[in-house]
Structure 1
Amino acid sequence: MSSLHRLLEPREDPSAAPGAVVYGRGEQRPFDLDLVIVTDGAALDVELCAVLAEACPDGAHLVLCAEAGAPPPAGPGRPLDDLEASETVPVVALDAEPPSEPIAALTEAVRGGELAAVDAPGREVVIVPAESPGEAVHRAVQLVTDSIPRALGIAVEDVQVVVPAAGGEVGAGALNAALKARLNPGPGAFGGMDPGDRVVVAAPLPHAPLGETGVVTGGGPHGLEAAFPGGTAVIAPADAPRLRHGWAVTVALARGTRRDAVVAVMPADGLSRPLVATAFGLARRHLSVVQAAGPALARAVRDDGAPARRTRLARLVAQ
């Protein structure tokens, strides 16, 4: 099992356009594989889907999987939905057993349009009301730095805060500022970051895919040093803006990685049923929902609210 980013073998190419990631696999050097299964096919934008298709050799089978009602990719297009709409590829809906775990039961209810109360005797799901943006940030920081580690024995490193948007009073930026002040205060010596800061890849790098988190280990004129699951990397100064603080991340960036504990901060703006279901489903052992949306949360789950994204791909594939 491998991330798609690493399977495609990203490499540094001085001749590439600024910000572009060049992959070693493609039409000229396809995979030596008969079967490729992508577990979150809904996250593929058109560019990455095209690279993947070119890297599959003749005769190989490509299987794209996704949860029902998954949110669209962060990048342009929605090729999985368009391929299904084109009626040119087989589509199979798998029947799953009704979920028994509290987090899974809540997530499944949200996918069905209901914000249901679930029985969580082991505090697998906790709802934390917040009356204002400032209180929501305070509650999230309290959960990450004290309540979850103390009450559940889950280390801070295994807790991820997720939120609909990057900006705003309850956005990832505001939450990261508050979390850094508590967890790793410092002057931001290296482009606003210090050794010990958690970072997230906000735009793909040769060293790590979109949404992967790591820890800053050092830096200097040569660049920012960071440890990712795939190894330690030096991020050139020109690429440093591709990193953000990563204690709190948007749901779009977090969607590929599950954590032992998730603090889902839900403000009134930017909510939709796919986003809420994705946020809740990221938690393995514990989910804290900082409810700062009031009735807007249940309304977003009930009414969906996900904007339609129209592309020409389905029509082009069918031609």
Structure 2
Amino acid sequence: AAHGPDSRARLAAALSGTEGGAATVAGLLSGAEGPGRDAEGSLALDLLVVLDAPQLDVESAAMLVEALPDGARLVLSGDPGVLGSAGPGRVFGDLLAARACPVVVSRTPDPGPVGELVSGVGAGELTAVDAPGHEVAIVPVRDPAEAVHRTVQLVTESVPRAFQVPPEQTLVVTPGHGGAAGTRVLNAALKEKCNPGPGRFAGFDPGDRVAYSPAPGRTELGQVLGAEQEGLRLRCASGEVLVARDRVAATLRHGWAVTAHQAVTLRAPAAVVVVPGDAGPALARDWVYTAFGRAERHLSVVQGVGPALATAVAERPAKPRTTRLPLLLRPQLPAPV
């Protein structure tokens, strides 16, 4: 099981297209995907491997554990360096800290300059890497307006020309929705260039790239196919989806640009990470690690914070979360006599 449909599709491809062996966590718990339940109401399986495990919050993790039959094995797999769950808790990190179960470390960095850069960030170092094929590009900018202009230029001109990656296969990641170079501003600029239109259907047009979030912490990218009487029809990694009219405003945003939290389980051939000048205080190592790690072949960093980016990588590992789970999981020592 993986966190979202995009991860599930990659998992199915790794399993030689065996769709029946791959599910999303939400689909598994609801019964819409996976093996279903046995006569006692437990999941009808002997082994459950959960990818993207850092995205499990306490509620979803508890539901998974409660649904397992007696004697089943549970394997949680994930990168502890990425941003954590949207919901409360840090289950994966707490299990590692508590040492309450066996831990197998298997860190195989992505190949090439992008993988080298991301590995360095994970270790707390932002270093220059040798990129003879321009696999990594740093684009300095002076202000948010220039950041938006250069981002659009990269997505629509530079990356397609140099790497034959079309705009729809480039992921733009920025720290937040607001601000002069947030997702709202970047998506407006990218829509005007990539798919101009009046936004006839609640601000969307056929062909628009969208970020669909059916529940908090779950985002998948899709494309608007058109409008129907009941709502907007999308093509997403999970298949065609009809978003009811009264749910459009709450669940849909334009999706050329997303936040790192929305992109945490997504990968793309190319990624453009936008770090505007006002983003310095909000940056941390896990954000940079997550954002940079979305790129498979090419990474462009639109850099407007100067030395603050290296400072965040070196000095701010992650925003702390308060949790009692490690204490509860640790083997209890006998009381002194």
| Superposition TM-score, scaled by structure 2 size | 0.83
The question of 1:251 aligning with 2:271 is answered no
Residue of structure 2 equivalent to 1:44: 56
The residue identity in structure 1 corresponding to 2:268 is R
Residue of structure 1 equivalent to 2:130: 119
Residue of structure 2 equivalent to 1:85: 97
| Alignment equivalent of 2:193, drawn from 151, 172, 182 | 182
The residue identity in structure 2 corresponding to 1:234 is L
How far apart, CA to CA, are the structure 1 residues paired with 2:238 and 2:289? 28
How far apart, CA to CA, are the structure 1 residues paired with 2:185 and 2:40? 45
Residue of structure 2 equivalent to 1:8: 28
| Alignment equivalent of 1:191, drawn from 193, 202, 208 | 202
Give the share of equivalent positions with the same residue, in percent: 48
Residue of structure 2 equivalent to 1:162: 173
| Superposition TM-score, scaled by structure 1 size | 0.88
Local SS of the residue matching 2:103: coil
Give ranges in structure 1 of 5+ residues lacking alignment: 13-23
Is the CA contact 1:26–1:56 (under 8 Å) kept in the aligned structure 2?
Answer: no
The question of 1:235 aligning with 2:243 is answered yes
Cα deviation, residue 100, structure 1: 4.8
How far apart, CA to CA, are the structure 1 residues paired with 2:70 and 2:157? 53
Cα deviation, residue 136, structure 1: 0.6
How far apart, CA to CA, are the structure 1 residues paired with 2:120 and 2:236? 34
More helix by share: 2
The question of 1:173 aligning with 2:181 is answered no
Is the CA contact 2:57–2:87 (under 8 Å) kept in the aligned structure 1?
Answer: yes
Give the 3 Å change call, closer, same or farther, for CA 85–27 of structure 1 in structure 2: farther
Local SS of the residue matching 2:93: helix
Cα deviation, residue 184, structure 1: 1.2
Aligned length: 304
User: Which moved further from structure 2: 127-136 or 304-313?
Assistant: 304-313
Cα deviation, residue 99, structure 1: 5.9
How far apart, CA to CA, are the structure 1 residues paired with 2:124 and 2:137? 20
The question of 1:283 aligning with 2:295 is answered yes
How far apart, CA to CA, are the structure 2 residues paired with 1:84 and 1:173? 37
Is the CA contact 2:109–2:115 (under 8 Å) kept in the aligned structure 1?
Answer: no
Give the 3 Å change call, closer, same or farther, for CA 155–3 of structure 1 in structure 2: farther
User: Which moved further from structure 2: 278-287 or 36-45?
Assistant: 36-45
The question of 1:30 aligning with 2:50 is answered no
| Alignment equivalent of 2:84, drawn from 72, 75, 78 | 72
The question of 1:263 aligning with 2:283 is answered no
Give the 3 Å change call, closer, same or farther, for CA 27–229 of structure 1 in structure 2: farther
The residue identity in structure 2 corresponding to 1:176 is N
Residue of structure 1 equivalent to 2:162: 151
Flag as ranges the 4+ runs of structure 1 deviating above 6 A. 24-27
Pairwise CA RMSD of aligned residues? Answer: 2.3
The residue identity in structure 2 corresponding to 1:301 is V
Give the 3 Å change call, closer, same or farther, for CA 34–127 of structure 1 in structure 2: same
Is the CA contact 1:26–1:55 (under 8 Å) kept in the aligned structure 2?
Answer: no
Local SS of the residue matching 1:256: coil
Is the CA contact 1:25–1:31 (under 8 Å) kept in the aligned structure 2?
Answer: yes
